[in-house]
Amino acid sequence: MRTFNIAIDGTSGVGKSSAADLLAQANGMIHLDTGAMYRCVALAMKQAGVNPDCPEEVSRVLDTVRIRFLGKRVYLNDQEVTDAIRTSEISNLTSRVAALPAVRKAMTSLQQQTTAAGGYIVDGRDIGSVVLPQAPVKIFLSARPEARARRRYDEYRQKGIEADYSQILEDIQKRDWQDSHRSTAPLVKAGDAVEIDTSDMTLDQVTAAIQRLIDAAGK
């Protein structure tokens, strides 16, 4: 059991969540998937028919959003939304919603409160730079867009879901652009984060590389 927090940031589809899950199990820690939190906010906005350009409507929804994780399942106001937050419509909406300063402020504060006691592996885009700047282990995962699109395509096919590789690649490139060009907490590598390019690595190789950094931090 580690008592410090670990930040894992990186682009869409780079394997942050899978690596964080395995590392959490191996180290007796809790995985906090902050992307799922932003996805819940986007779904709540869609369900409430909220216009993301209207700050009052956005605040009203934020006040009512309650997010809970039970193992791998995600709940939004007691409704299970594990699959509902993973559709491509919600992925694209989340990228827009995550750019809203009020949304970022609310989620950052929730993430800081949740992880205050330590023992969390937190994955996202701004964890090392904004949410947990003091984390003793900060990782930035990157991979070529084509490698990420290929992984997502294979994932869909394994689940028997029809998928279009070119469309997935285009969506990934669009989301990369939105995530790294927004004015509030854009996707950036924290100055002291260790970058790992996972394009040609297996998940096991990625987790082993991060595990070495965790062991070196040693607390």
Q: Which of 12, 115, 129, 198 binds ligand DC (CB under 6 A)?
A: 12
Contact status: 31 vs ligand DC (CB under 6 A): no
Select the span of 43-51, 120-128, 146-154, 156-164 touching ligand DC (CB under 6 A).
120-128
Q: Which is nearer to ligand DC, 12 or 198 (CB)?
A: 12
Vertex 7, ends 146 and 37: CA angle to 5°?
Answer: 75
Select the span of 34-42, 61-69, 139-147, 202-210 touching ligand DC (CB under 6 A).
34-42
How many residues in total does the chain contain? 219
Binding residues for ligand DC, rule CB under 6 A, total 13
- State in angstroms the smallest separation of the CB of 176 from ligand DC: 9
Written as six digits, the tokens of 53 are: 């350009």
Contact status: 179 vs ligand DC (CB under 6 A): yes
Contact status: 207 vs ligand DC (CB under 6 A): no
Which residue's structure tokens are 């023992």? 119
- State in angstroms the smallest separation of the CB of 218 from ligand DC: 26
Contact status: 148 vs ligand DC (CB under 6 A): no
Q: Which of 2, 31, 39, 148 binds ligand DC (CB under 6 A)?
A: 39
Contact status: 115 vs ligand DC (CB under 6 A): no
Q: Which is nearer to ligand DC, 34 or 207 (CB)?
A: 34
How far apart CA 52 and CA 42 sit, in angstroms, is 9
- Print the binding letters for residues 84-103 with ligand DC: x by CB under 6 A, - otherwise: ----------xx--x-----
Contact status: 125 vs ligand DC (CB under 6 A): yes
> Residues with Cβ < 8 Å from 63, sequence gap 6 or more?
none
- State in angstroms the smallest separation of the CB of 35 from ligand DC: 2
Residues at the contact surface with ligand DC, assessed by CB under 6 A: 12, 34-35, 38-39, 94-95, 98, 124-126, 175, 179
